[in-house]
Amino acid sequence: MNLTQENPGIAANDGRITPPAPGLRRAALLLLGLSVMLIAFNLRPIFSSLSVLLPEIIRQTGLSSASAGYLTTLPVLCLGLFAPLAPRLAQRYGVERTLLGVVIILGLGTALRGYGGIGALFAGSALAGAAIAVGNVLLPSLVKRDFANHAATMTGLYTMALCGGAAAAAAFTLPITHALGNSWAIGLGVWVIPVVIVALVWAPQSLRQNSRARHATYTVSGLWRDRLAWQVTFFMGLQSALAYCVMGWLAPILRERGLDGVTAGLVVSVSIMVQVFTSVLVPPLAVRCKDQRFFNAALAAIAGVALLGLLFAPLSTVWVWGILQGVGQGGLFAIALTVIVLRSPDSHVAAHLSSMAQCVGYILAATGPLFVGLLHSWTGGYSATAWLFIVLSAGAAISGWGAGRTTYVKVKSTPRKSP
């Protein structure tokens, strides 16, 4: 289903966004919105499911802490490396069909992780990360195109779905693994089931896409020279580095501090579930303000301080710090996606800014979980990661202050016809 083709007014030839025509059925938009949320739900379980099983994988396979750091970093690195492909794929095949490919490849990667063996685990993680990279870029563009009048609300909803998928994997992966013979491979592979479900829901909509959409391309120039675009990019990258430190290493950190595996997974799950609520609340509140500078900086500070509490505060307070970290991290992620939309004058610029922010941003974010693993390998503990968390949260606050200014990136978006 290509709503832009049903109603060309959504994305006019000059790149301006206009409200949907009255004849556009509400049911079509509701189905599209639900489908976007279902896709988003499946874009994070590969990270949090690995986190809660990491001690078992290390113990059963003999991985070192440094190698585990590479494993947690690999899919995040793929998020950055493959993000630039998204606009080109969408222009050639259409957003809907490209997202169908994303779901299929994500399913293959998730299933491969469940095959067993270190080689399959690394290969499946890379394949899934590549698919998620394209999905990450296209979802903000889809929101800008088809939900232009409700961009903040829809961003909050699909961010809620992202957090929900991560929380579900953090909470249920270890119990499922215990119930199915303590096989870490099965515990990882079981998350292919919701991917198959969303593929069945999305396929009929994507295959009805009008093929003419594939020939409408836009040239966006000047983005990589724009200061605001770089501030948005660094904000996305640094807050993502914090997020993947949490998803990749918080459970092992808490287990080393003395919590059992199931409880550690529940703390991570509750923290991520709190992100669900803040991700829904923050974007509508932020867009009502004159700018988003204060929101960005304050949320970065909250997320960073809470991580320090999880590292050093008494275990009796771990739930408080976990909830506080969820407030900060969920708000950070939602507002980082929101500023991509708010700083873009049209959906085509949004796709390219999203690609830039996630290409450079996720390559930067990959250093977060990598350094956690390396620091643990070098020092034998997690205390040294406190300095890493301080640097990342301070950087997110500074870049977020710049990204929160009420203005557009200064670029040119011009239509051209494919040969």
What is the pLDDT, as a whole number, of residue 210? 58
390: number of Cβ within 10 Å = 14
In a domain, 164, yes or no: yes
In a domain, 236, yes or no: yes
Q: In angstroms, rounded to a whole number, what is the distance separating the alpha carbons of residues 376 and 54? A: 14
What is the pLDDT, as a whole number, of residue 25? 61
pLDDT bracket for residue 106 (50, 70, 90): very high
Does the structure show a pLDDT above 60 at 419? no
What is the pLDDT, as a whole number, of residue 20? 45
pLDDT bracket for residue 382 (50, 70, 90): very high
In a domain, 24, yes or no: no
Nearest residue to 150 (alpha-carbon basis) of 41, 32, 44: 32
Residues contacting residue 349 through CB under 8 Å, at least 6 positions apart: 15, 220, 223, 408, 409, 411, 413
In a domain, 2, yes or no: no
In a domain, 159, yes or no: yes
132, 43 contact by CB (below 8 A): yes
In a domain, 218, yes or no: no
What is the pLDDT, as a whole number, of residue 384? 94
Average pLDDT along the chain: 84
In a domain, 375, yes or no: yes
SS3 295: helix
Winning range, highest mean pLDDT, from 24-28, 222-226, 320-324: 320-324
Q: In angstroms, rounded to a whole number, what is the distance separating the alpha carbons of residues 327 and 323? A: 6
Does the structure show a pLDDT above 90 at 399? yes
- Count of the separate structural domains present in the chain: 1
Percent of the chain with pLDDT over 90: 43
Kindly report, residue by residue over 87-98, the tens digit of the pLDDT.
788 888 888 899
Does the structure show a pLDDT above 80 at 136? yes
Which residue did the predictor score with more confidence, 246 or 215? 246
Residues 181-218 as b or e (16 or more Cβ within 10 Å = b): eebbbebbbbbbebbeebbeebeebbeebeeebbebeb
What is the pLDDT, as a whole number, of residue 417? 55
Q: In angstroms, rounded to a whole number, what is the distance separating the alpha carbons of residues 214 and 208? A: 13
Lowest mean pLDDT among 11-15, 248-252, 327-331, 376-380: 11-15
372, 382 contact by CB (below 8 A): yes
In a domain, 9, yes or no: no
Kindly report, residue by residue over 221-245, the tens digit of the pLDDT.
788 889 999 999 999 999 999 998 9
Q: In angstroms, rounded to a whole number, what is the distance separating the alpha carbons of residues 144 and 154? A: 9
Does the structure show a pLDDT above 90 at 146? no
What is the pLDDT, as a whole number, of residue 9? 33
Report how far apart the first and last C-alpha atoms of the chain are (Å, whole number): 24
Element (H, E) at 49: helix 45-61
Residue-level length of the chain:
419
Q: Are strands 412-417 and 216-221 parallel, antiparallel or unpaired?
A: antiparallel
Does the structure show a pLDDT above 80 at 11? no
User: Could you list the residue range(s) of the whole structural domain that residue 289 is in?
Assistant: 30-209+223-408
Q: Output the six-digit token pair for 143.
A: 């929101």
CATH at residue 39: 1.20.1250.20
User: What is the mean pLDDT of the segment spanning 360-373?
Assistant: 91
pLDDT bracket for residue 217 (50, 70, 90): low
Count Cβ atoms within 10 A of the Cβ of residue 414 and give its class: 0-12 exposed, 13-18 middle, 19 or more buried: exposed
What is the pLDDT, as a whole number, of residue 7? 34
Nearest residue to 126 (alpha-carbon basis) of 60, 82, 163, 156: 82
